[in-house]
Amino acid sequence: MWRTGGDGPDPPDSLSAFRHSQRRDVTVLSCLRRRGRAAVAAAGVVIPLAVAGCASAGSSGAGVSCDSPGVTPTEVKVGLVYPDSGPVGAGFRYARSGVEARIALANASGGVNGRKIVLEWRDDQGNTSGFARAADDLLRAGVFGLIAETLFVADTADRLDKEGVPVAGVPGEAVWTQHRNMFTFGSLQAAGSSVTTFGLYLRRFGATRAALVFNDTQSRSAEGLVRLFTDSLRSQGIAVADPIGYTPGITSPDRVAAQIKALDADAFVGIVSGEDLPPIYTAAKRAGLTFKVALASSGYDTQFLARHGASMAGVSVLTPHVLFTADSPALHAYRQAVIDHAPELDQTDNEIALGAYITTDEFLLGLELAGACPTRAAFIDNLRAVRDYDAGGLIPTTDLSRFGDPNLCYSFVRVNQTGTAFEVVPGVGGPDPHQWCGTRLGA
């Protein structure tokens, strides 16, 4: 059954210019500016370090005994949860690589406030009960906080918030915009609202009717994303049929293609992993389907091109982070860190690894701002006060105090006709020619 909506509002003129991380306290801010950030020559990146000599931030915590969980005079223990197995394990296989690379880079420069970061990880097996068990196990093991590179946090989020546990990770669920203790970037979702950005993109290519296919093993995450894309497309007058569920390894891609064909859709949106998209899209082409635009929610990495590029020509992929074609010092630093510390990732330009690297950077900034004797409350209070976090230039400037707001701006890339490279689709309404920026719906 097709449903449509009216035209959405025009996109905003611009975002604020990119800036480096803001500090909560004016005295700390001025001290940081005087001292600057220490450059790691081999990587070419700037890394947040202890604010030595700044009275309001405290000096290096090395050798200081603290009562906080996971904090010793020389170390801070941090927990990582991600799906190393289960139905989405393949899509997240490189999350740990990004986390470990960023932590290794920090430790190579002396750690955070003089303490080495020690990582302990657990597998949530790609389900909500698995995440709850993994988080409980890590907290019993005495970690300071959690890095959650997973889609299954929702059922545990309330308890982590009540217990004041800092959490950073990928924004796969609406709960990332509903809890003050949870930090992320590029959030697609916010409570009760969507954005016009994706509808603007499809409308630019003349789409009138869209078929949505989603991974139905991802429960709340998938449901939220289906609602997000549906609202966005309808805001631009694009009709959206009831979404089509897909279970990797069980559902026949040809059956999904037949369902899409029955809808007579001229646009396709795949809310699935980069590994799950090719079987569906190639089945659609075998069925004789053509689309004015095909958009995927993930798949922007060189591994995807190497394995599937020839069959994915013309497919667009959205991304909330810096383009891999950018001449960015922070991007060069990320690549070098992965080469040095995560050799299992043979091709550095991987969206899951980069996203994990960015959220780990965010967690490390929270530790830095928490001071010489960090507490969970200080971590949350001080990081939540940062209004222009950009991971050194890897993402658009983000106001972490406005954690209930969805991300308005994305870049879109498209697999070229030979399947050998991603081409950047010129943007609309953003602060640079590569960004597409819309407005919030339901605000």
Q: Where are the domains of the chain?
A: 37-186+325-384, 197-319+408-437
Read off φ and ψ for residue 168, nearest 5 degrees: -130, 150
Give the C-alpha distances (Å, rounded to integers) separating 139 from 78, 79, 149, 163, 287.
9, 8, 16, 11, 50
Of 189, 425, 202, nearest in space to 295 by CA: 202
Residue 237 to residue 33: CA distance in whole angstroms: 48
Contact 283, 257 (CB under 8 A): yes
Q: What are phi and psi of 233, to 5 degrees?
A: -70, -45
Cα angle: 39, vertex 392, 368; to 5 degrees? 75
Asked whether the domain spanning 197-319+408-437 has the same topology as the one spanning 37-186+325-384, the reply is: yes
The number of residues in the chain equals 443
User: Crossing angle, helix 154-162 and helix 128-140, to 10 degrees?
Assistant: 30
User: Is 197-319+408-437 a CATH 3.40.50.2300 domain?
Assistant: yes
Render pLDDT for 43-81 as a digit per residue (tens, 0 to 9): 333 333 332 233 333 457 776 678 999 999 999 999 999
pLDDT for 325-358, tens place per residue? 999 999 999 999 999 999 998 889 999 999 999 9
Q: What percent of the chain has pLDDT over 70?
A: 84
Rg (CA), the chain: 21
Select the highest-mean-pLDDT range: 14-23, 215-224, 395-404. 395-404
Candidates 3.40.50.2300, 3.30.300.30, 3.90.1150.10, 3.90.930.12; CATH matching 37-186+325-384 = 3.40.50.2300
The whole-angstrom separation of Cα 137 and Cα 364 is: 22
Strands of 75-82's sheet, edge to edge? Answer: 116-123, 75-82, 146-148, 167-169, 182-183
Q: Tokens 């005994």 label which residue?
A: 65
